[in-house]
Amino acid sequence: MRILILGGDGYLGWPTAMHLSALNHEVTVVDNYLRRRLSFEENVEALTPAPNLLERIRLWQEKRGLTIKPYIGDLSDWSFIANVFDETEPEVVIHYAEQPSAPYSMLNRAAASLTLNNNLNVTANVIYAVREFCPQAHIIKLGTMGEYGTPNIDIEEGWLDIKHKGRSDKLLFPRQAGSLYHTTKIMDTDLLWFYVRTWGLRVTDLMQGPVYGIFTEESRGHEELLPFFNYDELFGTVLNRFIAQAVAGYPLTVYGGGGQTRGYLNIQDTVNCVRLSLENPANLGELRIFNQFTETFTVNELAEKVKTVGKNLGLNVKVKRIKNPRKEKESHYYNPAHTGLLDLGLQPNYLTDKALEEMLSHVEKHKNNIHEHKIFRNTKWD
Ligand SMILES: NC(=O)c1ccc[n+]([C@@H]2O[C@H](COP(=O)([O-])OP(=O)(O)OC[C@H]3O[C@@H](n4cnc5c(N)ncnc54)[C@H](O)[C@@H]3O)[C@@H](O)[C@H]2O)c1
């Protein structure tokens, strides 16, 4: 298939590009290095430097003899994205290209504005480009479990059957985000749903939980093909941060009571979920939603796991509860459905001690690159 990966230089985009290329799909990646630029500007670069996208592609070609086609440019610029779609005529569009950090979106007005403009304009441009150049194409969009928030009822996969005053309907599950970034993801979903109803687009919206890990089948053993591993508060996801904190001897930063529960998944499962969605497309005129995670943990449980496995590796891991810089419930009901991707054949890679050991050992090798002052900067929601 001709597959266009938007945000193909990112933490998830690059492993996805390699995986689909390894399966002999015709893969094109697009990126404007926004993630790299923001990390640089905020002085929170990844644990190890990653070669730029063109160099990554060259290394991939050298190792596997496979070609990935790159475009470098800003997808919120219509003339650029129109040219990309016109030239590639994709059958599948995987849309990762957003500003993905909740704390970054809460930094200040400029960061909020960048997040809002970038995320919504890219999504709107993707919708228009699909309509104009490839109306049959399947859009696979990365949403987030954070769109639902933490309601006091079970979370369904996207849709809720509602009975109200004797009548019933199936409506999008109520959403209530916990950051501006998550709010942009809700707005993305609303945009997609509007144009699915209006123009009959074919869309899968993957409500993904926080991803952890670094290795996927294609990069294991090839350090230069690994994705970014951020350990800072802005761009590092919670488990990745705890791993680096454990290695650095920095007390694990549990926010508040630590009872915040979320659905997590290994980066290998992200790649597999996207592939399964692509192999089993949504119908034209359908907004299909899957909840993309494999198991739920409280923050305290994650910290305890890292502490236990770290101890076995000889690390002296301490856990510190700090005042929560975010506004969120620290103890709450959480029971989200997640059967859709399992029904498509997902075989989860769970968070085993072995998986934790592999991550800790990898980060340990690069311990000298961890700068303590970059770990926590206390970005407040106030
Ligand atoms: N990483 C997670 O834990 C997680 C969890 C849930 C959802 N998501 C979603 O998955 C997607 C990918 O996340 P990620 O962690 O790989 O983030 P990332 O920042 O590493 O990847 C996004 C990529 O898109 C690029 N990009 C952004 N705006 C662009 C633009 N205007 N033009 C061209 N390229 C642009 C960035 O430079 C970056 O390389 C995001 O939409 C994010 O919201 C991620």
Whether 254 and 308 have beta carbons less than 8 Å apart is answered as no
Ligand 1: lining residues by beta carbon, under 6 Å: 7, 9-13, 30-35, 74-76, 96-98, 100, 118, 122, 142, 144, 208, 210-211, 237
Upper half-sphere CA count for residue 220 (Cβ side, 13 Å): 10
Alpha-carbon span 353 to 312, nearest angstrom: 10
What is residue 279's predicted lDDT score, i.e. its pLDDT?
98
Q: Which residues are catalytic?
A: 144, 181, 185
What is residue 76's predicted lDDT score, i.e. its pLDDT?
98
User: Which atom number of ligand 1 is nearest to the Cα of residue 118?
Assistant: 31
Phi, psi (rounded to 5 degrees) for 202: -115, 110
- pLDDT, tens digit, for every residue of 243-296? 999 999 999 999 999 999 999 999 999 999 999 999 999 999 999 999 999 999
What is residue 176's predicted lDDT score, i.e. its pLDDT?
97
Whether 141 and 322 have beta carbons less than 8 Å apart is answered as no
- Predicted confidence band of residue 43 (pLDDT cuts 50, 70, 90): very high
Average pLDDT over residues 375-381: 95
Total length of the chain: 382
- Predicted confidence band of residue 135 (pLDDT cuts 50, 70, 90): very high
What is residue 290's predicted lDDT score, i.e. its pLDDT?
98
What is residue 133's predicted lDDT score, i.e. its pLDDT?
98
Q: Where are the alpha helices (DSSP H) in the chain?
A: 13-22, 34-41, 53-64, 78-88, 102-105, 109-133, 180-199, 238-248, 267-279, 299-312, 340-343, 353-365
Q: What one-letter code names the amino acid at 71?
A: Y
Q: What is the DSSP string of 13-82?
A: HHHHHHHHHHTT-EEEEEE--HHHHHHHHTT---SSPPPPHHHHHHHHHHHH---EEEEES-TTSHHHHH
Average pLDDT over residues 141-161: 98
What is residue 292's predicted lDDT score, i.e. its pLDDT?
98
Alpha-carbon span 127 to 190, nearest angstrom: 12
- pLDDT, tens digit, for every residue of 66-100? 999 999 999 999 999 999 999 999 999 999 999 99
Pick from 232, 202, 222, 205: which is nearest to 40 by CA? Answer: 232
Report which protein residue has its CA nearest ligand 1's atom 23.
7
Q: What one-letter code names the amino acid at 324?
A: N
Cα(312) to centroid(ligand 1), Å: 34
- Predicted confidence band of residue 26 (pLDDT cuts 50, 70, 90): very high
- pLDDT, tens digit, for every residue of 162-212? 999 999 999 999 999 999 999 999 999 999 999 999 999 999 999 999 999
Output the average pLDDT for the chain: 98
